[in-house]
């Protein structure tokens, strides 16, 4: 991509605005819907973050994903650049899907499986994006760290609240 057609700062600002809107919108949905009541009824481990902290962390981390996407689009690489950008967008879509499955479906077992699948997808994405553009790949590691914490939390919540043997009796 030549310098004239590269995404500029305005596109970065749009990406960041959309990312914050999506993250904040889903946080608002979870907090204001029956999903919040469902979550309050669950047995949670002592190390579960409370209040607005998870929402703030999610909003900040999704900004890094938006910046990573922007950097990826500005890089060279033709097909690899396109694949890396598509995978990065898939991270956001996967996060939205995982939230819908967990809180919309109100099922801790399926939510854990969705979080685990997203975790594996994030590893693939970081590998591809890092190969295309190292700084863009580095910006995805905080997302991966937060996702790792979410998988561990989902597993513990599943163990504390699940009476079925849906996930192989875990």
pLDDT tens for 22-50 read 888 888 887 777 888 888 889 999 999 88
Query: Under a CB-based contact definition with an 8 Å cutoff, are residues 68 and 88 in contact?
Result: yes
pLDDT tens for 92-128 read 999 989 988 988 888 899 999 999 999 999 999 999 9
So what's the architecture of 3-161 in CATH? Up-down Bundle (1.20)
Which CA distances in Å does 69 have to 50, 57, 65? 30, 19, 6
C-alpha 94/C-alpha 21 separation (Å) is 16
Query: Under a CB-based contact definition with an 8 Å cutoff, are residues 117 and 150 in contact?
Result: no
Task: Specify the pLDDT at position 76.
Answer: 80
In this predicted structure, the answer to whether residue 157 has a pLDDT above a threshold of 90 is yes
63 contact partners, CB below 8 Å, separation of at least 6:
16, 19, 20
Domain boundaries, the chain: 3-161
Min mean pLDDT across 29-33, 51-55, 138-142 is at 29-33
Cα dihedral sign for 1, 85, 149, 121? negative
Which CA distances in Å does 162 have to 34, 39, 85, 90, 104? 19, 14, 37, 29, 17
């Amino acid at each position: 991509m030549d310098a004239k057609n590269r995404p500029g700062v305005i596109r970065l600002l749009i990406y960041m605005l959309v990312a914050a809107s999506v993250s904040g919108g889903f946080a608002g949905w979870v907090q204001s819907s029956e999903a919040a009541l469902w979550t309050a009824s669950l047995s949670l481990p002592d190390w579960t973050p409370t209040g607005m902290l998870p929402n703030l962390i999610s909003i900040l981390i999704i900004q890094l994903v938006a910046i990573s996407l922007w950097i990826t689009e500005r890089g060279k690489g033709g097909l690899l650049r396109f694949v890396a950008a598509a995978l990065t967008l898939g991270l956001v879509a996967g996060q939205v899907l995982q939230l819908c499955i967990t809180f919309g479906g109100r099922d801790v077992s399926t939510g854990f499986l969705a979080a685990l699948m997203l975790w594996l997808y994030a590893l693939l994405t970081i590998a591809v994006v890092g190969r295309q553009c190292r700084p863009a790949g580095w910006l995805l590691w905080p997302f991966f760290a937060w996702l790792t914490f979410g998988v561990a939390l989902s597993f513990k919540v599943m163990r504390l609240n699940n009476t079925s043997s849906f996930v192989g009796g875990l």
